[in-house]
Amino acid sequence: MPVISIPIRSAIHQAVAAIDAAGALHPNGDTVFLTFADIPAIDVLAYLGAWGLMARSAGTTIKLRGEAKALMVLQQHGFHQLLDIPPSSSNPALQPSKASAIGVLPLSPIATEEQQFQAVDAICAIALAAIDNAAAFIPALEWLANEILGNILTHAASETPGVVCAQYRPKQQRFDIGICDMGRGLLGSLQPTFPEVRSYGLAIDKAIERGVTRDPAIGQGNGMAGSYEIVRLNGGTYQIWTGDVVYELNKGKRRPGFQAMPPVLGTGVMFSLDTSKPVDLASTWIAGKLGVLSVFLDNQTEAATEIGLNVATECLHTGGRQPAKLLRRKIQGLLPAMDGEPLILDFAGVRSAASSFLDELLGRLAAEDPRGQRIFDGAVRIQGMNPTVQAMANVVVAQRLGQRKLDTGVS
């Protein structure tokens, strides 16, 4: 009965070494105890998710031990649900709430194109609600996530699904994504086409070259190279692990050599992007001067034009600033892509709202626009607001901008 203790603040190679030391890198149906002293980083979380799916397919039972906070965060990140593990606590005080999961994409299996696109949309939705400059940040983020998740379906040849997880860390201004599969790995994928590639390190070096693919008939070989370019320009962190090595680009610069580790199946990547430094794809070889349109933003703006954003649906509640802040950032992210069409903000279903909610949403939306008139000049069209909420909204807007009133069609 292997007992695996994941070290405190462990990097991916240390977590893999701990699993190997317990004899559990290739599970055979035993019961395995995973023990956590602290919250795992996103790369370790992605690896454990993919490894766990492989273990479950082999008949292994996974049980969890460790610090209550670490287990709660694991639950919040979807670890229990992914691997069908009972909740770590029946105490409601230790259960993650919906509010605590804001900014998190729980571990999600990737075995179909539909799952890929759903995961990419969820990643972009986090950015849209959480990042002030989301319209500039999302296109490169969306391209990167689509390409690397697509590699799982196209190249991994894994018997079990790959996984993806993501988290926005506002204090650090970082957006982290972890992706991992238990397939044939980069060496197994590339060596038949490139027989000179005889080590995992050489396979990584080859994979991040532009135009390198195992089969030109099914891909151009730009996914790994393009994601590398995005992270380099962003000054972020990019990890790749496959076989017995880990590669790292840190703060836009490559660390010399490779970190050794016990050999693992598949391939994993981790991106940590600086959200204050969006990468314009038009400035890269990925898109050239024409740039790349964001499918996610295009779909979002089309919906915002046709049916609008319903406040009651978008916000967990209307009693404070936090849900209003998320919706305001979403609106600010969509407005640059609206192409002159008004964004409909629908208050239907909102019977009451706190002044702090209305100030965070409408007052700051107006005040933070360079012209100071965003909600009055037609860029945003407010509808469905009842007279009580409208009167309160007029008060908070007046405090921000002076004696202006919202044009909501309500007298």
Same domain, 302 and 241: no
Same domain, 332 and 254: no
- Vertex 298, ends 295 and 299: CA angle to 5°? 85
- Residue whose tokens read 């002044």: 355
CB burial of residue 314 (10 Å; 0-12, 13-18, 19+): middle
Angstrom distance (rounded) from CA 196 to CA 198: 6
Angstrom distance (rounded) from CA 213 to CA 194: 9
Domain-located, residue 289: no
pLDDT bin (cut points 50, 70, 90) of residue 365 is confident
Same domain, 261 and 309: no
Backbone phi and psi for residue 105, each to the nearest 5 degrees, phi listed first? -100, 110
Same domain, 244 and 337: no
Across 82-236, the runs of DSSP E, i.e. the strands, are 104-110, 162-169, 174-180
Domain-located, residue 408: no
Domain-located, residue 282: no
Note the pLDDT tens digit of each residue in 255-275.
888 999 999 999 999 999 999
Same domain, 245 and 300: no
Backbone phi and psi for residue 185, each to the nearest 5 degrees, phi listed first? 80, 170
DSSP one-letter string for 344-387: EEE-TT-----HHHHIIIIIHHHHTSTTS-TTTTTSEEEES--H
pLDDT at 232: 94
pTM of the model: 0.87
Angstrom distance (rounded) from CA 236 to CA 230: 9
Angstrom distance (rounded) from CA 407 to CA 221: 52
Same domain, 227 and 83: yes
3-state secondary structure of 154: helix
357 touches 318 (CB < 8 A): yes
Residue 310, domain extent: 295-401
Domain of 98: which CATH number? 3.30.565.10
pLDDT bin (cut points 50, 70, 90) of residue 342 is confident
Same domain, 357 and 326: yes
Name, in order, each residue with C-beta under 8 angstroms of 329's C-beta and a sequence gap of 6 or more: 128, 129, 130, 131, 132, 134
Cα-Cα-Cα-Cα dihedral of 107, 131, 295, 309, to 10°?
100
Domain-located, residue 407: no
Same domain, 245 and 333: no
- Choose the final residue of a domain: 274, 309, 328: 274
CB burial of residue 289 (10 Å; 0-12, 13-18, 19+): exposed
Angstrom distance (rounded) from CA 238 to CA 225: 11
Two tokens at 125?
A: 């939705």
pLDDT bin (cut points 50, 70, 90) of residue 99 is very low
- Choose the final residue of a domain: 274, 305, 336: 274
Backbone phi and psi for residue 358, each to the nearest 5 degrees, phi listed first? -65, -35
pLDDT bin (cut points 50, 70, 90) of residue 302 is confident
Backbone phi and psi for residue 352, each to the nearest 5 degrees, phi listed first? -150, 160
Q: What is the mean pLDDT of the chain?
A: 87
pLDDT at 219: 58
Domain-located, residue 51: yes
Domain-located, residue 201: yes
Q: Give the count of domains, the chain.
A: 2
Angstrom distance (rounded) from CA 411 to CA 408: 8
Domain-located, residue 279: no
Same domain, 83 and 166: yes
Same domain, 66 and 186: yes
Domain-located, residue 97: yes
- Residue whose tokens read 């990419």: 120
Bin 251: left if φ > 0, else alpha if -120 < ψ < 50, else beta.
Answer: left
3-state secondary structure of 309: strand
Identify the top-confidence range among 65-69, 139-143, 376-380, 397-401: 139-143
Cα-Cα-Cα-Cα dihedral of 292, 297, 301, 304, to 10°?
180
Angstrom distance (rounded) from CA 89 to CA 179: 27
The percentage of the chain sitting over the pLDDT mark of 90, rounded to a whole number, equals 62
Same domain, 85 and 182: yes
Note the pLDDT tens digit of each residue in 131-163.
988 989 999 999 999 999 999 998 898 999 999
Same domain, 270 and 309: no
